[in-house]
C-alpha cells in the first residue's frame, strides 16, 4: 500500500483533528470508508455531540508536511512499505509517523532502555550489551533520554540505531541531545516522532511514546530501572504487544535495580550476556514478524490486506490513550518520563463505559465522574458511537445501547 500525497494529507488532517486518536482514526475510516469521507462527516458528528467541529485544516496539514520536509523528514503511513510492520501489528499503532533518516524500521530491532540516572556499571553494561547486539545484526531502538538511552544510541551508531521522540521532530528532548540526533542521522540511523511539528513533549507523552519503542522491537531490554519508572512502562507495553522482555539484574540494595529485579521475578529473561538476548530472539526473528510477533489477541495481519481498515475487528484493539490534541483533565505531575504509573490504556474507556447506562447522562457529568478531560470523553464517545454502542440524546447527553 502506498498513499497518494492527497490521501496522506487527509490522514494527517484526520489524526490531528481534536478528539481523534489512533483508535478513533481506525473507527472513523472503518465507518466512512476513508479519511476524506470521515473528514466530511466529522462536522455533523460533532454537532450531534453538541460541540463545534474543529477540523485540522488542509492548510495546517500542508504546513506540517512542509515544515517536516524542511528538516529532512517525511510522513510514513501504517501499511506503507517503510512503515515498521512490527509496530503496525500493535494496538493503537500511530496511523502516521514522522521519519527522519534512513528507512531502517523493518530491520530486526531490539529496544534498550533504562534509568536516566544510571550507575557507572549500568552504563558500562548497556554499552557492552548494545555493541554486542548491534554487531550481531540487531538495530537498537531507544528513547533519546539521558543515561542508558543515550549510551545505547551511541554504542549502536555504526550498526543502526532508532530514536523515538516524545515531542515533535523539531522538539528534541532534552535539547542537549541535538548533536546526538545529528550523529544518528549522519550514521544512517532513524529518528521517529508521532507528535506534530512544534509539539513540546509533556509528561504524558513519554509513556505514550514508549509503546512505539517496544512496538518497533522484537524485545525490550531494561538495563536499570527504579520502581515506577518509565522503562517499566516500556516493558509493560512490550508484554501487552506479545514481545519479549529482558532485564539486567542488580544488587537488591541498589534502588536502580529494583525495577529490573522485579521484572525478572515476573518472568522477564535475566540478561547478563549478549547471548542471553540472542538465544531468545534468534528463533523469533528467523520466523519473521508474521510468524512470531503476531498480536497477542490474534488479530488479522493488517499489512497483507489492501482493505485492512475495513476488516479490523475493533474489539481486538485496546483503546488508544489520549489523542495529541486532547490534554487529560488530570494534571501532568512530572516533566519527563520518570515517575509515572504505567498508563492503563483501557482505563479511561472502561471507566467511561462503566459510568454509562440506559439512562442518558451529560458528557460534562461523565468527564467529572470519570476524572478525565472533556476531550478524552469526546474521543471515547466518538469511538463508542461509531461502534454503535451509545446513543446521543438532547442537551449533550448519551446512553449505552443495550446489546
User: What string of DSSP letters covers 279-344?
Assistant: HHHHHHHHHHHHHH---TT----GGG-TTHHHH--GGGSPPP---TT---SSPP--SSSTTPPPP-
- Of the two residues 238 and 264, which places its CB atom closer to its own copies in the complex? 264
Report d(CA 212, CA 201) in Å as an integer. Answer: 15
- Of the two residues 14 and 235, which places its CB atom closer to its own copies in the complex? 235
Contacts 24+ apart (CB under 8 A), 339-344: 339/228, 339/229, 339/230, 340/203, 340/204, 340/206, 340/207, 340/228, 340/230, 340/233, 341/228, 342/207, 342/232, 342/233, 342/236, 343/204, 343/207, 343/208, 343/233
Report d(CA 403, CA 395) in Å as an integer. Answer: 24
User: What string of DSSP letters covers 45-87?
Assistant: HHHHTTS---PPPHHHHHHHHHHHHHTTEEEEETTSTTS-HHH
Q: Which of residues 252-281 bind its own copies (CB under 8 A)?
A: 252-254, 257-258, 261-262, 264-265, 269-273, 276
- Of the two residues 261 and 363, which places its CB atom closer to its own copies in the complex? 261
Q: How far is the CB of 100 from its own copies (least distance, A)?
A: 34
List Cβ neighbours of 305 (8 Å cut-off, separation of 6 or more): 311
Q: How far is the CB of 255 from its own copies (least distance, A)?
A: 11
Exposed / middle / buried, residue 292 (Cβ in 10 Å: 0-12, 13-18, 19+):
middle
User: CA quadruple 361, 367, 371, 372: dihedral positive or negative?
Assistant: positive
- Of the two residues 179 and 253, which places its CB atom closer to its own copies in the complex? 253
- Residue from 22, 114, 219, 250 in contact with its own copies (CB under 8 A): 250
Report if residue 228 touches its own copies, rule: CB under 8 A: no
Q: How far is the CB of 270 from its own copies (least distance, A)?
A: 5
Q: How far is the CB of 119 from its own copies (least distance, A)?
A: 8
- Of the two residues 62 and 262, which places its CB atom closer to its own copies in the complex? 262
Q: How far is the CB of 269 from its own copies (least distance, A)?
A: 8
- Of the two residues 82 and 254, which places its CB atom closer to its own copies in the complex? 254
Q: Which stretch binds its own copies (CB under 8 A): 19-27, 144-152, 249-257, 384-392?
A: 249-257
Q: How far is the CB of 296 from its own copies (least distance, A)?
A: 25
Q: How far is the CB of 301 from its own copies (least distance, A)?
A: 33
- Of the two residues 125 and 173, which places its CB atom closer to its own copies in the complex? 125
Q: Which of residues 117-146 bind its own copies (CB under 8 A)?
A: 121-122, 124-125
Q: How far is the CB of 385 from its own copies (least distance, A)?
A: 47
Binding site for its own copies (CB under 8 A): 121-122, 124-125, 248-254, 257-258, 261-262, 264-265, 269-273, 276
Amino acid at each position: 500500500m502506498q498513499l497518494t500525497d492527497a490521501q496522506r494529507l487527509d490522514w494527517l488532517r484526520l489524526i490531528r483533528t481534536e478528539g481523534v486518536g489512533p483508535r478513533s482514526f481506525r473507527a472513523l475510516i472503518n465507518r466512512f470508508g476513508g479519511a476524506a469521507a470521515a473528514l466530511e462527516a466529522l462536522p455533523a458528528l460533532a454537532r450531534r455531540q453538541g460541540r463545534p467541529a474543529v477540523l485540522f485544516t488542509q492548510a495546517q496539514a500542508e504546513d506540517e508536511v512542509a515544515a517536516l520536509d524542511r528538516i529532512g523528514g517525511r510522513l510514513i503511513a501504517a501499511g506503507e512499505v517503510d512503515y515498521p510492520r512490527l509496530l503496525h501489528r500493535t494496538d493503537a499503532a500511530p496511523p502516521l509517523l514522522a521519519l527522519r533518516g534512513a528507512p531502517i524500521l523493518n530491520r530486526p530491532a531490539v529496544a534498550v532502555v533504562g534509568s536516566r540516572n544510571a550507575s557507572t556499571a549500568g552504563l558500562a553494561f548497556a554499552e557492552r550489551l548494545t555493541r554486542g547486539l548491534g554487531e550481531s545484526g540487531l538495530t537498537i531502538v531507544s528513547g533519546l533520554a539521558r543515561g542508558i538511552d543515550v549510551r545505547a544510541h551511541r554504542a549502536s551508531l555504526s550498526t543502526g540505531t532508532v530514536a523515538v521522540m516524545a515531542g515533535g521532530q523539531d522538539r528534541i528532548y532534552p535539547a542537549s541531545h541535538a548533536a546526538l540526533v545529528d550523529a544518528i542521522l549522519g550514521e544512517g540511523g532513524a529518528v521517529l516522532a508521532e507528535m506534530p511539528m512544534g509539539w513540546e513533549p509533556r509528561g504524558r507523552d513519554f509513556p505514550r511514546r514508549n509503546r512505539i519503542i517496544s512496538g518497533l522491537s522484537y524485545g525490550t531490554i531494561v538495563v536499570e530501572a527504579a520502581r515506577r519508572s518509565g522503562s517499566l512502562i516500556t516493558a509493560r507495553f512490550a508484554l501487552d504487544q506479545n514481545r519479549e522482555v529482558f532485564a539486567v539484574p542488580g544488587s537488591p540494595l541498589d534502588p536502580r535495580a529494583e525495577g529490573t529485579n522485579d521484572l525478572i521475578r515476573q518472568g522477564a529473561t535475566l540478561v547478563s550476556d549478549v547471548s542471553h538476548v540472542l538465544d531468545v530472539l534468534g528463533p523469533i526473528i528467523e520466523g519473521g514478524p508474521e510468524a512470531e510477533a503476531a498480536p497477542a489477541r490474534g488479530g488479522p495481519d493488517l499489512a497483507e490486506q489492501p482493505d485492512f481498515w475495513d476488516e479490523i475487528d475493533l474489539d481486538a484493539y485496546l483503546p488508544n490513550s489520549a489523542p495529541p490534541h486532547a490534554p487529560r483533565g488530570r494534571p501532568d505531575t512530572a516533566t519527563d518520563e520518570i515517575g509515572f504509573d504505567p498508563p492503563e490504556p483501557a482505563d479511561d474507556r472502561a471507566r467511561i463505559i462503566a459510568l454509562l447506562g440506559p439512562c442518558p447522562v451529560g458528557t460534562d457529568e461523565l468527564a467529572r465522574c470519570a476524572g478525565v478531560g472533556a476531550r478524552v470523553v469526546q474521543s471515547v464517545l466518538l469511538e463508542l458511537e461509531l461502534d454503535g454502542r451509545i446513543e446521543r440524546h438532547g442537551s449533550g447527553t448519551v446512553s449505552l445501547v443495550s446489546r
